[in-house]
A and B are shown apart, each in its own frame.
Chain A
């Protein structure tokens, strides 16, 4: 009986999975790859829950900031940041080094960050990243 239930449950999950739209699959792919990139390149400074570090490292939890600067996020990652930024009430003027990530990795990690820690902004795909990178100041 138990085995039958497990098999049934598994079948449901598989069926559910196969019903995912192309977009959802795309999102999952970016998001899970992004979580690995985040652990390797961002987590030390920004924290594993994106909480930042006092006034040294800005948090990644401010959806308002992320939305407002959405088109610039890819540039921050590619070129780093040396001018001060204001996140919520606080100004952060520490330097962020260039990440050395490829456009694909930037898209993945931005999808992860902008859909974690209380953020929900959908997929940030490679095409968008490449478009945004052309506009870097």
Chain B
């Protein structure tokens, strides 16, 4: 009996390994089937949920829109600089992501402030400096509150007055959602780092939907 359990455990462990070896990330969110006419024939195509247009300002005072992220894989989260509970934990973990991919050209981190009244460009800049974030690979954005809250829904997270989820959302170059990770859990953030590597290796990354 003991050997049987061991054998089953062994098989499970092996199959777990083979699963991760050939792993592609799922595409999350809503999807619709659309019928298109290609060369006179009608074809059914799947249209996935994507991140809609937005326009915000980053910690350097630059205007940042969805277009600024064209050609980038990015991770998004929602926070505010005076948040006393989960934000320090989230950004302590996000620093690992930042340092892992800092020198990579097609990767960014986007942190949307849910408290634009307090988190002015200056406050965001100071926060980034103190966190040790330089350059343009991690942007801290602020804009209209309503825009931020409604944009959060497109990332499948909740953000409202003074409250927000702690998820890190992984977005691919076609602006589709490819993963959602609890930013306060170091193990999930480790998985995020591995998933970013998988996503960067995906061959059709440059094709814009």
Contacts and interface: CB of A to CB of B under 8 A. Distances in A.
B84 A56 contact: no
A53 B83 CA distance: 14
- A interface, over-half SS: loop
Contact of A54 (B85, B89, B131): B131
Chain B interface size, under 10 / 10 to 19 / 20 to 34 / 35 or more: 10 to 19
Interface in A57-72: 57
Interface in A76-98: 94, 97
B131 A44 contact: no
A55 interface: yes
Contact of A55 (B88, B91, B92, B129): B129
B85 A56 contact: no
Interface residues of A, number: 10
Contact of B131 (A45, A47, A56): A56
A45 B87 CA distance: 8
Interface string B87-124: 01101100100000000000000000000000000000
A55 B132 CA distance: 7
Interface string B4-22: 0000000000000000000
Interface string B120-150: 0000000101111000000000000000000
B130 A54 contact: yes
A94 B130 contact: yes
Interface of B: 84-86, 88-89, 91-92, 95, 127, 129-132
Interface of A: 44-45, 47, 53-57, 94, 97
